[in-house]
Amino acid sequence: MEENFYNDESKYGELINLLKGLPKVDTPDNFEYNLMTKINNGNFNLNTKESGFFFGRYFLPATGLVAVFLIAFFVLNNPGTDENNPFLQEPPALKELSASASSPKIINDVIIAQKPVETINGKKSAQTGEVVKSKTKKAVRVVVKPNDVISKEVVDLPFDPAKSVSVDEKIAEQTAVSSTNKRSALVGGASNGFGFDGFYIREKIDRKYLEIWKAKLDSIKKAQRLHYRLK
């Protein structure tokens, strides 16, 4: 019964005759010559390429799926990234400078880190003058207005005083730089409570460089003290 179902050649008799009547296709005349030449020369390279491993056949669907997930992940999660990325935010100090640029002319925009003396030097000596003496944790900017009125403006610096570098101590090498004195902590990261250390390579601070800056700061402080004394 099954044999008849599959072997119903009479049903396709006409078709089978057509197929059997097809002219035979032979190899080209030089087939054997070419073949034997190849063999005698040891040239066994195949004319048709072997069907090798095809990446796409097996992994294309999976790759596509992964790509869709990645795109969805990055596109859908994008809105929150700008707000938290410190590199995409304008530094607060720059904002202030640009805001005040229009009104009073800042001639001497020296910003002095304001810290209680005992936290910096560990003693209550008035080394840094009046500004430094105040116990507030705010920094002050000395502004000379066009009518020659000198005023002080409180600047909300992005530096966390608790994490800033004690230059004097560093030079004197009394204490080691704490682990919180990372570059990111100095450049505003700490004010947001953001502990990101960035991609900076930690460099050993050059003593000579610090001495130059200390000399500059001392000069400014001296000028400031003189200014207050004259006032």
Q: Give contact residues for other proteins (rule: CB under 8 A).
A: 5-8, 12, 14-16, 18-28, 31-32, 34-36, 38-39, 44, 46-51, 54, 57
Q: How far is the CB of 62 from other proteins (least distance, A)?
A: 17
Cβ distance to other proteins smaller for residue 23 or 79: 23
Kind of pairing between the strands at 111-112 and 139-144: antiparallel
Cβ distance to other proteins smaller for residue 21 or 80: 21
**Residue that is written with structure tokens 């035979």 in the block:** 24
CA distances, 200 to each of 36, 46, 72, 116, 147 (Å): 69, 57, 31, 30, 44
Q: What is the DSSP letter of 143?
A: E
Is the CB of residue 105 less than 8 Å from the CB of residue 144?
yes
Cβ distance to other proteins smaller for residue 36 or 212: 36
Cβ distance to other proteins smaller for residue 25 or 201: 25
Distance, in Å, from the CA atom of 140 to the CA atom of 210, rounded to the nearest integer, reads 22
Cβ distance to other proteins smaller for residue 36 or 72: 36
Q: How far is the CB of 189 from other proteins (least distance, A)?
A: 50
Q: How far is the CB of 5 from other proteins (least distance, A)?
A: 8
The pair of three-digit structure tokens given for residue 14, joined into one six-digit string = 């006409």
What SS3 string covers 192-215?
A: HCCCCCCCCCCCCCCHHHHHHHHH
Q: How far is the CB of 87 from other proteins (least distance, A)?
A: 41
Distance, in Å, from the CA atom of 14 to the CA atom of 7, rounded to the nearest integer, reads 14
Helix (H, G, I), strand (E, B) or coil at 137: coil
Q: How far is the CB of 61 from other proteins (least distance, A)?
A: 13
